[in-house]
Amino acid sequence: MSKKKARTPSPLTPVDRKLLSILGEHQLVQRGVLCTLARLGTAWRRIEPERTRAWLAQLEPHPLYKGGQFLFDLLEVEDFMLDGPAPPPVSSEELAGIARRAADLAGIELPVLGVGLVLDALPPLEPGFYLYRDVILGLVFVLVSAADPP
């Protein structure tokens, strides 16, 4: 005699499932932003190695940089970024929005942003200990590109 397992109804309501769906979509956006910033940081590091080394030399001793690295490691953000296929780069408009928010947090006034980046030619992610560094370099690159457009 075979016994069929009775399906237990899900304790989640439709509202619960909708909220979980929104959180999943937000997670995809966060992953896309972080991966795009890391790829931008990698590209910038390859194009201007001396300038990026100088930036890192200034940033690395700063408590906010160190705290960010601690949280990045503690929250296993690298695993989050590398989980699954690489997301497509975010648009230059989205990067401009990120730059505006970051500038607001830092108290920096930026002109009207026109981040003209070639996002299709970004290098792949470089997993490893320096992924946080590349995310930060990508954010700095977006900020300096917005503040001083070519």
In which band, very low, low, confident or very high, does the pLDDT at 103 lie, cut at 50, 70 and 90?
A: confident
Q: Is the pLDDT of residue 117 over 60?
A: no
Q: What is the pLDDT of residue 39?
A: 93
Q: Is the pLDDT of residue 110 over 70?
A: no
The residues, any chain, with a CB within 8 Å of residue 126's CB and separated by 6 or more, are 38, 42, 134
Q: Where are the alpha helices (DSSP H) in the chain?
A: 14-47, 49-59, 63-74, 77-82, 92-106, 131-147
Q: Is the pLDDT of residue 144 over 60?
A: yes
Between 127 and 50, the higher pLDDT residue: 50
Residues 25 and 30: their CA atoms lie apart, in Å, by: 9
Contact 81, 125 (CB under 8 A): yes
Give domain limits for the chain: 17-147
The residues, any chain, with a CB within 8 Å of residue 123's CB and separated by 6 or more, are 39, 42, 43, 46
Percent above pLDDT 90 for the chain: 41
Mean pLDDT of the chain: 84
Nearest to 56 by CA among 66, 67, 47: 66
Percent above pLDDT 70 for the chain: 85
Contact 92, 142 (CB under 8 A): no
Q: Is the pLDDT of residue 118 over 60?
A: no
31-84, pLDDT tens digit by residue?
Answer: 999 999 999 999 999 999 999 999 999 999 999 999 999 999 999 999 999 998
Between 119 and 62, the higher pLDDT residue: 62
Residues 28 and 83: their CA atoms lie apart, in Å, by: 11
